[in-house]
Structure 1
Amino acid sequence: MIVLVLSVILVLVLGGCACVWWAARGGPRWARAVAVVTLAAAELVSAASRTGRKSGSGSDADSDD
């Protein structure tokens, strides 16, 4: 079951990347819309990753003192 879920996520990511590439080259309106959603999701994941690293590195720095 987990393999199926991960496969679907992989297909969605690859499709989103293809739409970003296509939209950058003047693709149809729906591809541009998918590209915007893909880039927004990437920004959210990036922001969440940065927040996680900040809190993790802060606790490591406190424990070294």
Structure 2
Amino acid sequence: MVVLVLLGVLALAVAGCVCVVWAERGGPRWVRAVATMTLAAGTVVRHSRRNRRPGLNGSTGDDG
């Protein structure tokens, strides 16, 4: 059961990446919407990892 869930998540990630590439080449409106959601989800994950484990990436946390 866990394997099926992981395969589903992997399929969604691959489909999102395909939509991002297709949207860059001028795909239809729904592809651009999926690409926007995919990029937003990636940003959320990236920020949540940064906030959860500060200091493990070797930086001081000072962006400026």
TM-score, length basis structure 1: 0.82
For residues 8 and 35 of structure 2, what CA distance do their matches in structure 1 show?
A: 18
Instruction: Name the one with the larger helix percent.
Output: 1
Q: Which runs of 5+ in 2 are unaligned?
A: 57-64
For residues 49 and 21 of structure 2, what CA distance do their matches in structure 1 show?
A: 24
Q: Percent of pairs identical after alignment? A: 54
Q: Does 2:26 align with 1:26?
A: yes
For residues 53 and 21 of structure 1, what CA distance do their matches in structure 2 show?
A: 30
Residue 48 of structure 1 deviates from its aligned partner by 0.3
Q: CA RMSD in A?
A: 1.2
Q: Which runs of 5+ in 1 are unaligned?
A: 59-65
Read off the aligned partner of 2:28 and give its amino acid letter: P
1:27-58 deviation per Cα after TM superposition (whole angstroms, max 9, x unaligned):
0100000000000000000000111121xx38
Residue 11 of structure 1 deviates from its aligned partner by 0.1
For residues 46 and 29 of structure 1, what CA distance do their matches in structure 2 show?
A: 26
2:53 partner SS? helix
- Runs of 4+ in structure 1 over 4 Å off: none
- Rg larger in 1 or in 2? 1
TM-score, length basis structure 2: 0.83
